Amino acid sequence: MQEKLFDSEAKVMEIVWEKEPVSAKEISLIAADEIGWNKNTTYTIIKKLESKGFIHREDPGFICTSLVSKGEMQKKEASTLLNRVFKGSRKALFSALLEDEELSGEEIEELRQLIEKR
């Protein structure tokens, strides 16, 4: 997976991940309602996602399914952010994330367990 997922494409992928298998028409109705896009905008983004290999569209009904999981995409985007903004430093990334954030005892324990599993 080499392609970047742009913000507009990520919005459509969220709909696909949540509803799949889902028709292009249903995606466009959800995007119109939640984002305010017209049908042509949504269909253009669906075509881009298909050409990039993120989704598969099948007739009849232009049924869309993801070819990339949400988890895979989250890992790729996190890695891109880590390398581009923090020069690969996980410590710098976590420091930036936690600097102004109040964490509950439960959240701190969950983070501790994640680190210990590594």
Q: Number of folded domains in the chain?
A: 1
Could you give the residue ranges of the DSSP H alpha helices within the chain? Answer: 7-19, 24-34, 39-52, 70-86, 90-98, 105-117
Q: Is residue 93 part of a domain?
A: no
**What is the span of the domain harbouring residue 43?**
1-86
pLDDT tens-digit map of 98-114: 888 888 999 989 989 98
Average pLDDT across the chain, whole number: 93
Q: What is the mean pLDDT of residues 15-32?
A: 98
Q: Which amino acid is at 8?
A: S
For residue 2, the domain's CATH number is 1.10.10.10
Q: Where do we find the tokens 């976590």?
A: 94
pLDDT given at position 9: 97
Q: Is residue 18 part of a domain?
A: yes
Q: Is residue 117 part of a domain?
A: no
Instruction: Provide φ and ψ at 2, rounded to 5°.
Output: -100, -25
Q: What is the mean pLDDT of residues 42-57?
A: 96
Q: What is the mean pLDDT of residues 51-70?
A: 95
Q: What is the mean pLDDT of residues 14-43?
A: 97
Residue 1, pLDDT above cutoff 60: no
Q: How far is CA 32 from the centre of its chain?
A: 19
Q: How many CB atoms lie within 10 A of CB 82?
A: 15
pLDDT given at position 101: 80
